[in-house]
Amino acid sequence: MARLELINLNKTYSPKVVPVKDISLDVDDGEFLTLLGPSGCGKSTTLRLIAGLEEPTRGKITIGNTDVTNARPGDRNIAMVFQSYALYPHLTVYENLCSGLKLQKVPSAEIKQRVDSAASVLGLDAGLMNRKPGQLSGGQRQRVAVGRALVRRPHVFLLDEPLSNLDALLRERVRADIKQLFAAQRVPVVYVTHDQTEAMTLSTKVAVLNNGYVQQLDPPERIYSHPANQFVAGFVGSPQMNLLTLPCQGRFAMLGDCKINLPELSTVPPQIVLGIRPENVRIPQPGDTQIIHGQVFLVEHLGMHNLVSIKVNSSLKEDITVRALLPTDQRWSDGDISLALAPQSIHWFDVQTGDVFRREKVRV
Ligand code: ADP
Ligand code: MG
């Protein structure tokens, strides 16, 4: 067992640069944790702290119950894959794959066996072994970088945006390969990305980071279905969730002339944020009660669906825009439209804090 644990980790470069403020999380053997967040939110710094490339200002890191907070990188038995691949340009593919093992003084017969096995798993054929990184495609370099981590048989794998230098089609294929490959490793994997699709497809757990803190730590399905706050709700999901600041009147939030039951609150605030994903704004069906009225002003074709933007009729000074994912078998042209908000798909957030009001508490 080599469970990885971060306890109240903080990294302060200067009073104004504190990329990691207070991060606690754990990753078990066989778990694939993704750190997901916008650029500059402290993902790479967190990974570098785990690897020992940076020293934490406060907090603790353990691997399999051993405190490694102050251990040298080489003593942590961690393998890291970087976005830049970080291959040695003057060494061949074969030499790159075994460079780490030679340092560890692994016997040469075993080196050969491990390299051959990684090369075959990764589809790196013998013809590539004598080439230098400069003679490889981006996808091949990326596989060599992953291979170099695999042959180490480390206690923990760290990957920092390993797909971001690949073009879109290749990225999709390699993403699927990575998922299969690391599922077979049975050690903790920590993967960093700003790409929500990678996070959702690869992970067993996702930690959404912003501003040096974990905003939510949950399986990907739950991050999507139960975002803990407005930041997570807006960051995860494409097209983005509608987040509408609405006035409250009595027990209702007013979306134009549509009255929507508020969750149970001890005091009703003057305003509340309603969140609803575009796929949950739909053509009204018999029995639907939450119907909004407005005008179509933009139709975007996404292939499987149309993303239709409407301005809701309202007496507020500012227009309210709602976006809906609608089927492509109807023509959506500018003009009046009525749409229904699917029941049970509304999220409520506090205007001040951005925290969610849990759906369980909503009146029905
Ligand atoms: P991410 O990987 O999420 O994009 P990083 O962890 O790389 O973000 O960086 C977070 C912040 O920390 C950035 O503002 C960056 O400029 C700052 N930072 C990173 N490394 C250093 C360093 N060695 N010295 C000073 N500031 C740093
Ligand atoms: Mg980074």
Asked if residue 12 has pLDDT above 60, the reply is yes
Compute CA 228 distance to the chain's CA centroid, rounded to the nearest angstrom: 14
pLDDT band at 145 (very low <50, low <70, confident <90, very high): very high
| Ligand 1 neighbour 162 (Cβ under 6 A) | no
Query: Helix 138-150 and helix 93-103: axis angle, to 10°?
Result: 20
* Residue 157, CB-side half-sphere exposure with 13 Å CA sphere: 31
Select from 6, 38, 12 the least CA-distant residue to 25.
Answer: 6
The residue whose C-alpha atom lies closest to atom 14 belonging to ligand 1 is: 40
User: CA 33 → CA 149, 207, 315, distances in Å?
Assistant: 17, 7, 46
Asked if residue 204 has pLDDT above 80, the reply is yes
| Burial group, residue 79, by CB count within 10 angstroms (0-12, 13-18, 19+) | buried
Q: Which domains are seen in the chain, by residue range?
A: 4-234 (3.40.50.300), 242-349 (2.40.50.140)
Across the chain, mean pLDDT equals 93
Query: Per the structure block, which two tokens stand in for 316?
Result: 């507020």
Top mutation candidate among 11, 12, 17, 193 for ligand 1, by most atoms within 8 Å of CB? 17
Asked if residue 43 has pLDDT above 70, the reply is yes
Calculate the dihedral angle through the C-alpha atoms of 174, 176, 178, 184, rounding to the nearest 10 degrees.
Answer: -150
Q: Distance from the CA of 210 to the center of ligand 1, in angstroms?
A: 13
pLDDT of residue 363: 44
Non-local (6+) Cβ contacts of 328 within 8 A are: 301, 304, 305, 306
Q: Distance from the CA of 49 to the center of ligand 1, in angstroms?
A: 12
pLDDT of residue 315: 77
pLDDT per position as a tens digit, 79-114: 999 988 889 999 999 999 998 888 888 999 999 999
pLDDT band at 73 (very low <50, low <70, confident <90, very high): very high
pLDDT of residue 362: 46
User: CA 263 → CA 282, 326, 339, 353, 358, distances in Å?
Assistant: 22, 27, 22, 16, 8
| Ligand 1 neighbour 52 (Cβ under 6 A) | no
The mean per-residue pLDDT over the stretch 113-120 comes to 91
| Ligand 1 neighbour 41 (Cβ under 6 A) | yes
Q: Distance from the CA of 204 to the center of ligand 2, in angstroms?
A: 21
How many other CB atoms sit within 10 Å of the CB of residue 303?
6
pLDDT band at 361 (very low <50, low <70, confident <90, very high): very low
The strand pair at 335-341 and 291-301 is best described as antiparallel
| Ligand 1 neighbour 212 (Cβ under 6 A) | no
Q: Percentage of the chain with pLDDT > 70?
A: 98
pLDDT per position as a tens digit, 310-355: 999 887 778 899 999 999 888 878 789 999 999 889 999 999 999 9
pLDDT of residue 1: 66
Asked if residue 358 has pLDDT above 90, the reply is no
The mean per-residue pLDDT over the stretch 178-198 comes to 93
| Ligand 1 neighbour 266 (Cβ under 6 A) | no
Look at 164 and 61; give whichever has higher pLDDT. 61
The mean per-residue pLDDT over the stretch 222-247 comes to 97
pLDDT of residue 196: 94
290 in Cβ contact with 362 (< 8 Å)? no
pLDDT of residue 75: 92
The residue whose C-alpha atom lies closest to atom 23 belonging to ligand 1 is: 13
Q: What is the pTM of this model?
A: 0.92
| Ligand 1 neighbour 43 (Cβ under 6 A) | yes
The mean per-residue pLDDT over the stretch 115-136 comes to 91
pLDDT band at 168 (very low <50, low <70, confident <90, very high): confident
The mean per-residue pLDDT over the stretch 125-144 comes to 92
Closest atom of ligand 1 relative to the 14 alpha carbon: 25
Strand partners, 338: 293
Q: Give the span between the Cα atoms of 341 and 344, in whole angstroms.
A: 9
- The residues placing their C-beta within 5 Å of ligand 2, an ion, are 44
